[in-house]
Structure 1
Amino acid sequence: MIIKLNQILKKEIIINELLSIQDVVRWITTCFSKSDLWYGHGSDNPWDEAVNLVLPILGLPPYMWSMVYNSKLSIKERKIIFELVIKRIKERIPVVYLTHKIWFCGYELYIDNRVLIPRSPISELINNKFKSIIPTNYNPKYILDLCTGSGCIAIACAYLFPNSHIDAVDISLDAINVVEYNIQLHGLENRVTPICSNLFEKLPKYTYDLIISNPPYIDKKDISSLPKEYLYEPIIGLVSKNNGIEIIEKIISMYSSFLRKNGILICEVGDKMVNIIEKYPNIYFQWLNIKNGGGNIFKIENK
């Protein structure tokens, strides 16, 4: 017998029959599997999506699953979870915008729909301590996180390079407000500075040792073809003109004035690698080998 979604998506089931975290996650996984959902904001399957919904609501990071999965949930917790499952399925709201929590490079962040949901493969570079990308004895003193969004890259770099100062820059004042909250969450007010600026326009008059950027790179005409989940994200963080490469072009044309000699620029370009190579045949781009994200990040050294 095939069980239909409307047969299992009942409040009475989760309230009266499902007691443990594991019970609830298994039930949510079934509900998600039978729904027309898109996974692309931190998970790629219904089980992980369910875990990423339940544990953050309980104030727990998803990596604590093995320690807590047998724990019992209160009726109040089950009711809250049920309502969020309904929103996820019926309104297609990304899980992170329901829980307002995500862990980037192991660090908790507050997230709402004023900023993109962090999912950059640059996290892999940070987790690997930029191995083979930045010299082992290279300790950048001044770092620029350009198009910072939630501040996830800036905050992770602050932990990786404890003697550094990071400027977290975004054109969106809404995003900067979220960055400020996350900076305070981690007590990094003296080391990470949020700056509302159109790229390099309002930056302080000094050069950086390391510039990292995950700029918008989606062509506006492609937005309508994206799954509904992406339409909850701020368009300013997704879209760039000139077939999606206008902002990347500006970064490439201006970065050398803000990067010290032998400094490093790291920039994510999504699916625009071919466009960039064709546009700049005389620039040597080192395309980084990323397991989670292919070859969509380049490195340039300021010689």
Structure 2
Amino acid sequence: MYAQAAVTFSTVRDLLRFAVSRFTACELVYGHGTTNAYDEAAYLILATLNLPLDTLEPFLDATLLPDEIRDVVEMIEKRAEQRIPVAYLTHEAWQGEFSFYVDERVLVPRSFIYELLGAPLEPWIEHPELVHRALDLCTGSGCLAIQMAHHYPDAEIDAVDISLDALEVAAINVENYGLEERIQLLHTDLFQGIEETYDLIVSNPPYVDEESVDELPAEYLHEPELALGSGRDGLDATREILRRAPEFLNERGVLLVEIGHNREALEAAFPELPFVWLETSGGDGFVFLLTREDLVTAGEP
């Protein structure tokens, strides 16, 4: 493929057209940062060429060196043939203005929770200074812990994961943001061994149900299996979080959990809980909020 490309292609525009055609023909699945073939192709090309990710137009007709063409074509082919998520190819994923190192040891960051930190939580956390300690369960790449540190500058944050591999990636990101003094990475399973209490607990736990795990597109099978499935109905981890959260929340503490497409199943399983479903860019059925008072009043545990 490269030999033909080296003769045929000369500009970014050539590579962009080629990538969109390849991705469309291969019927790739998106959702790890982009939603369509064009955006995926543009991002992959710009990242590979070390160009600004938000500036495509001025470079479209730039003539590329043979080595640059080779590098881009290799990336396009890996994405098309192996269906590797683009974030694993570039080792970078974005949430808002935050960039994170990622590889196949962690999920590609895409939680809606980051949209809700800060101002959207003001009805429950009036001032950022009220968050003295926070906990990120199932931290993965550490992306939510890092963003909590940004929104709550007085908070000390514990970031927990059962995967040592994931914590190695999280450590890279924590160091990149210079937050080693504020974020403590803990190797444990959810609340096991934790002795602190918190003003804010967030979690993007595994939540894919058994049937859906079996039907995941190839792109998602590159992600750690441990971080995807959570029992027959996808709620095993969430049940444990709800059961134990009151022990670890301070009097006015807030719990924020993402549960994918499981809203109906969760409400059926816990009809006594007054879930508050927060509006995100994906809709209002993906992230719920409960206070410690809600949990204690409902009898959890």
**1:76 positional shift:** 1.8
TM-score (norm 2): 0.89
> Secondary structure of 2:208's partner?
coil
Deviation at 1:64?
Answer: 4.2
User: For residues 16 and 138 of structure 1, what CA distance do their matches in structure 2 show?
Assistant: 57
Q: 1:117 is paired with a residue of what secondary structure?
A: coil
- Structure 1 Cα separation of the partners of residues 30 and 72 of structure 2: 19
Specify which of 258, 268, 271 is matched with residue 258 of structure 2. 268
Comparing 170-179 and 272-281, the one that deviates more: 272-281
CA–CA separation in structure 2 for the residues paired with 1:157 and 1:60: 29
Given the superposition, is the C-alpha separation of residues 141 and 15 from structure 1 closer, same or farther in structure 2, using an over 3 Å criterion?
farther
2:157 is aligned to 166
- Matched to 1:75, the amino acid is P
Q: Which runs of 5+ in 1 are unaligned?
A: 1-9
Residue 208 in structure 1 maps to residue 221 in structure 2? no
Asked if residue 62 in structure 1 is aligned to residue 53 in structure 2, the reply is yes
- How many Å separate the matches in 2 of 1:42 and 1:30? 19
Matched letter for residue 191 of structure 1: R
Residue identity opposite 2:16 in structure 1: V
Go from structure 1 to structure 2 and tell me whether the alpha carbon gap of 1:297 and 1:11 turns closer, same or farther (over 3 Å shift): same
**Residues 271 and 144 of structure 1, relative CA distance in 2, 3 Å threshold:** same
Following superposition, the deviation at residue 133 of structure 1 comes to 5.0
Match of 1:37 in 2: 28
Structure 1 residues 269 and 221, CA, compared in 2 at 3 Å: closer, same or farther? Answer: same
**Correspondence 1:292 to 2:282:** yes
Specify the alignment match of 1:176 in structure 2. Answer: 167
Deviation of the 1:90 alpha carbon: 1.2
Deviations 1:152-171, CA, capped at 9 Å, x for gaps: 11112222222222111111
Q: Which amino acid aligns with 1:197?
A: T
For 2:186, the equivalent position in structure 1 comes to 195
Q: Which moved more, 1:228-237 or 1:154-163?
A: 154-163
Equivalent-residue separation in structure 1 for 2:136 and 2:189 (angstroms):
13
Show the counterpart of 1:145. Answer: 136
Q: Distance in 1 between matches of 2:31 and 2:199?
A: 32
* 1:257 corresponding residue in structure 2: 247
Name the CA distance, whole Å, in 1 between partners of 2:166 and 2:144. Answer: 13
How far did 1:220 drift? 2.7
**Compared CA separation, residues 155 and 59, structure 1 to 2 (3 A):** farther
Partner letter of residue 75 of structure 2? L
Q: Using the alignment, how far apart are the partners of 2:14 and 2:132 within structure 1?
A: 48
The counterpart of 2:91, out of the listed 77, 82, 100, is: 100
**SS of 2:257's equivalent?**
strand
Percent identical across equivalent pairs? Answer: 37
Q: CA RMSD in A?
A: 2.1
CA-CA distance at 1:134 after TM superposition: 4.2
Is contact 1:121–1:293 with CA below 8 Å preserved after alignment? no
Corresponding residue SS for 2:120 = coil
Contact 1:61 1:103 (8 Å CA) reproduced: no
- Of 105, 113, 125, 1:122 maps to 113
Change (3 A) 1:29 1:109: same
Structure 2 residue runs of 5 or longer lacking an equivalent are 294-301
Cα distance in 1 for residues equivalent to 2:228 and 2:88: 16
Contact 2:201-2:249 within 8 A present in 1 as well: yes
Q: Is the 8 A contact 1:262 1:301 kept in 2?
A: yes
Contact 2:276 2:290 in 1 (8 A): yes
Change (3 A) 1:57 1:210: same
Residue in 2 aligned with 1:3?
A: none
8 A Cα contact 1:104 1:156, kept in partner? no
The corresponding residue for 2:296 is none
How has the CA–CA distance of structure 1 residues 131 and 261 changed in structure 2, closer, same or farther, with 3 Å as cutoff? closer
- Residues 106-155 of structure 1, C-alpha deviation per residue, up to 9 Å, x if partnerless? 222111111111111223224x7435554442431211111111111111
SS at match of 2:251: strand
Q: Which residue of 2 aligns with 1:6?
A: none
- Name the TM-score, length of structure 1 as normaliser: 0.89
- Equivalent residue in structure 2 for 1:236, among 211, 218, 226: 226
Q: How many residue pairs end up in the alignment?
A: 292
Cα contact 1:105–1:156 (8 A) shared by 2: no
For the residue of structure 2 that corresponds to 1:144, the secondary structure is strand
Q: 1:60 and 1:289 mapped to 2: Cα distance?
A: 34
2:74 aligned with 1:83, yes or no?
yes
